[in-house]
Amino acid sequence: MVSKRHISQGVVAAIILAIVLVTRMGGNILIPSIPSIAGEFGIDNSRATLNINLYSIVLALSFAFFGPITDVVKSRTLLLIGSVLCAISHLICGLAVNILMIDFGRVLLAAGSSLIIITSQTWIGNRSGKEDMLRRLAWFSMLVSLAPMLAPVLGGYITDHFSWRWNFRLMLILSLVVIFVIVFIKSRKDNQQTKETPLNPINLLKTYQDVIVHTPLIAISSIVFALFMLQGAFFAFSSFLFINELGYSAVQYGFVSLFLVGGLFLGRIPTIFLAKRFSIRTVMLINTMLVFLALGGSLLFFEVEKHHTVIEIVALMTLMCFGFSGLSVLSVRNNMLIDPLRKGTLSGLYSFLCHISGWLGILITQLLFHFKLSSISVYNHFLVLTMVLITIGIIVFWRTYPRVKAVLENNSK
């Protein structure tokens, strides 16, 4: 019998990071292959993006369900269950004979991914103080951003040179490696919670009702929710925009997304720097202005030139991703601070609202495709909608800030 090796918390953190990297890669690697899948199964753009829709809605609902569970159950157990679900999902998608099998596999992937992500995020929150939480979450999320940055590049190469099925086969192999690591390596510190509240739907609903009514979670995060809606929409229409309308190959599209996710990766660095010198409110407003300028700049370019270009979209959307990146890590940190005793619950609800916003963006994209709008037209519509929602979000945050200043700021007086 093989005994489990006990290791330090630092190594545990590295293992958790690797698990999240694999999980995040699995959620994004298929994006460049969507047109190929649509062609093989003879389906239109709207039907081809349904699996993205399903993935997003199940991911969101799973965050809401699993959030309170992470306050109760061992992290190692939850990571193992999530990794097994991911492995099964990749196996089903790799063997798919129709689009329904891919849809089902993506549903399982969403459930497993949400469990892994929320468990990892709560693990960090439980081991961080107020002043160092932003730094730890930022560096953690920066490293995790490598997965969606590299996954489309890898997925595009695999799709063009082998087959879209090999994307899922590769992820199956990586998921099995993750399961092996979780099974045979155990931390010195067993992360068992002692919370006694029973886990049942009634208590879950009451808890979330209390959080929504009595905490400022929605008010201080509404800007981020609007940007997640834009992100979800961009995932849904971007492959058609760059491949079908702007003439890029799947490999080239993968390199385009490398710039965008690179913005999400690097955008956390200036946020860490600014948060040491300015208030959290000021840093949030700086990042919001970056986003607003990028979206407005792209609309202005289209109005003047009467068309979009790849360079213009990539440059301005990368700038948008810088601001989005800073806002997202600030929001995770802020929401963990407003109720320290329920970090998992707050993280679960916050992640649910972020991903339900992304799902809404995908749903709107499908509806616009249904009415035969081009992907360029869809892109323009979302630029306008997001700018309106950000403006509302700034007003709401500004009015809410005086009530939460002492909680959010590191050195409030």
Do the Cβ atoms of 26 and 167 come closer than 8 Å? Answer: no
Q: What is the torsional sign of CA 157, 159, 163, 169?
A: positive
Tens-place pLDDT, residues 233-247: 887 788 777 777 777
pLDDT at 230: 92
pTM strictly above 0.75: no
Do the Cβ atoms of 169 and 90 come closer than 8 Å? Answer: yes
pLDDT bucket at 185, cuts 50 / 70 / 90 = low
Do the Cβ atoms of 100 and 195 come closer than 8 Å? Answer: no
- Alpha helices by DSSP H, listed for 338-374, are 343-370
Tens-place pLDDT, residues 160-179: 888 888 888 888 998 898 88
pLDDT at 144: 65
Residue in 264, 272, 270 with CA at minimum distance from that of residue 325: 264
User: What is the DSSP secondary-structure string of 87-145?
Assistant: HHHHHHHHT-SSHHHHHHHHHHHHHHHHHHHHHHHHHHHHT--HHHHHHHHHHHHHHHT
Distance from C-alpha of 139 to C-alpha of 265, rounded to nearest angstrom: 9
pLDDT bucket at 202, cuts 50 / 70 / 90 = low
Distance from C-alpha of 11 to C-alpha of 257, rounded to nearest angstrom: 31
Q: What mean pLDDT do residues 388-405 have?
A: 92
Question: What is the percent of the chain with per-residue pLDDT over 90, rounded to a whole number?
Answer: 15
The residues that bridge with 7 in the sheet, in sequence order, are 187
CA 207 to chain CA mean position, Å: 24
Tens-place pLDDT, residues 208-218: 777 777 778 88
Amino acid at the residue 151? A
At 189, list the tokens: 């510190």
Distance from C-alpha of 148 to C-alpha of 22, rounded to nearest angstrom: 10
Amino acid at the residue 324? F
Point out the least confidently predicted range of 28-32, 45-49, 208-212, 359-363: 45-49
Tens-place pLDDT, residues 271-305: 888 888 888 899 999 999 999 999 999 999 988 98
Tens-place pLDDT, residues 44-77: 766 777 777 788 778 878 887 877 777 777 777 8
Residue 345 has pLDDT above 90, yes or no: no
Residue in 343, 84, 331 with CA at minimum distance from that of residue 217: 331
Domains of the chain: 5-184+199-408 (1.20.1250.20)
Distance from C-alpha of 76 to C-alpha of 79, rounded to nearest angstrom: 5
Distance from C-alpha of 218 to C-alpha of 393, rounded to nearest angstrom: 10
pLDDT at 1: 39
pLDDT at 87: 92
pLDDT at 85: 92
pLDDT at 285: 93
Task: Name the more confident of 384 and 187.
Answer: 384
pLDDT at 191: 45
Do the Cβ atoms of 117 and 23 come closer than 8 Å? Answer: yes
Point out the least confidently predicted range of 192-196, 240-244, 368-372: 192-196
Q: What mean pLDDT do residues 2-28 have?
A: 69
Residue 81 has pLDDT above 50, yes or no: yes
Residue in 226, 232, 231 with CA at minimum distance from that of residue 389: 226
Task: Name the more confident of 119 and 138.
Answer: 119
Q: What mean pLDDT do residues 71-95 have?
A: 85
pLDDT at 128: 63
Cα–Cα distances (Å) from 218 to 80, 240, 245, 285, 398, in that order, read 31, 33, 37, 17, 13
Distance from C-alpha of 283 to C-alpha of 299, rounded to nearest angstrom: 25
pLDDT at 383: 93
